[in-house]
A = this chain, B = another copy of it.
Amino acid sequence: MYKIAILGASGYTGAELIRIISNHPELEVDILAAHSKAGLRMEKVFPHLRSLKLPPLIKIEDVNYSNIDLCICALPHKTSQEVIKALPDHLKIIDLSADFRLQDAADYEKWYGNVHQALKIQNEAVYGLTEFYRQDIIGSRVVAGTGCNAATGQYILRPLVEKGIIDLENIILDLKCAVSGAGRSLKENLLHSELSEGTNAYSVGGVHRHLGEFDQELSKIAGRAVNIQFTPHLIPANRGILATAYVVGDIEAVNETLSQRYENEHFIHVLPLGESPSTHHVRGSNECHIGIVSDRIDNRCIIIAALDNLTKGSSGQAIQNANLMLGIDETMGLNLVPLFP
């Protein structure tokens, strides 16, 4: 059994890591650490984990890493780089924050507003979109988990950009995001009274931080600057991202490209041409469902991807990467059937 430490275990991605690991045959949770809720038993922080035998929540500075095989950080960005900088060198690390996603320090500062404090690790970190960085992840020491929105969009766009079959000047991504992506933080707009029974856009106009990842990754693939339009909307649901992409290109080429690209991917399912996915049907699973539909206007395609932001978009991705880093079968512990209804 490989021993896992989770730093930042009092948030939703922390709880999701515990849920997945608890049914994983080769991993076990050895250390749980957090900031504000340190000292509490996990069943006080997350009563749904009551039946698991879990270590108590300790302070991050009190963690002893000597027996730990892999450390997963589910901390806020900026805090994360400070904590990770101080970790022992031998430790394998997966970071779920934004701190190591952007390879360029200037990009990081532009999108996140602070000077990066751990540039050496930033250079070393592998971008954690498993299906596209598999070989790098296998040999890596530090993996940067992707943004959940960035993952969803890239599953649609990367193969199309790579094949050069869509107009790079006209890519629009309209996202519908459930609220758990915003974490467990106490903000007025996350209250049930404010969120349920309605919807609104946020970070409109190209200011959402996940655009840093899109810019970096799509430009790298295209060999030139690619800037997409990206508008997230908050929907009254707890889990799930639905990304609707509007692209200009030939539907047959689009369908063939995506179908072939994901044919052998265990968790990415391309639906039959013309069908649409739903976030209802991926809840709690590590799956991503992709639907491709031809518009009535010639050469326009609508491509829709659905995944669970906490699982495939974050903690499930982390375990998929952990499996690779530890030399375990990539899918182990991740055949989680969606919960419906």
A interface, CB within 8 angstroms of B:
12, 15, 18-19, 22-23, 46-52, 170, 172, 174, 176, 178-180, 184, 186-188, 190-202, 204-207, 211, 227, 229, 231, 233, 235-240, 242, 244, 246, 267, 269, 274, 276-285, 287, 289, 291, 293-297, 300, 302, 304, 306, 335-341
Contacts and interface: CB of A to CB of B under 8 A. Distances in A.
Contacts of A196: 192, 196-197, 236-238, 341
Given A47-B281, A172-B246, A176-B176, A339 B339 contact: yes
A170 to B, nearest CB: 7
A72 B276 CA distance: 32
A194 to B, nearest CB: 6
B200 A48 contact: no
Nearest to A228: B297
A243 B188 CA distance: 24
Nearest to A176: B199
Given A22-B337, A198-B280, A244 B174 contact: yes
A244 B48 CA distance: 19
Contacts of A341: 12, 180, 193-194, 196-197, 238-239
Q: Oligomeric state, in number of copies?
A: 4
29 contacts: A12-B341, A15-B340, A47-B278, A49-B337, A51-B267, A172-B172, A172-B246, A174-B244, A176-B199, A178-B197, A179-B192, A180-B341, A186-B187, A192-B236, A194-B341, A196-B236, A196-B237, A197-B238, A197-B239, A197-B283, A198-B278, A199-B235, A200-B306, A204-B291, A205-B295, A227-B297, A229-B295, A231-B302, A233-B244
Contacts of A269: 50-51
Given A23-B337, A198-B278, A231-B246, 13 more contacts: A47-B281, A50-B289, A184-B191, A197-B197, A197-B239, A197-B280, A198-B279, A200-B278, A204-B304, A206-B295, A206-B296, A207-B296, A235-B235
A231 B172 CA distance: 13
A337 to B, nearest CB: 4
Given A19-B339, A236-B235, A50 B294 contact: no
A74 B35 CA distance: 36
Contact of A200 (B187, B190, B197, B276): B276
Contact of A198 (B194, B198, B283, B302): B283
Closest 10 pairs (CB-CB, A-B): A206-B296, A198-B280, A200-B278, A193-B341, A48-B281, A48-B338, A186-B186, A48-B340, A198-B279, A205-B293
B302 A205 contact: yes
A294 B192 contact: no
Contacts of A184: 188, 191, 193-194
Given A192-B190, A236-B196, A302-B231, A293 B204 contact: yes
Nearest to A242: B199
Contacts of A240: 197-199
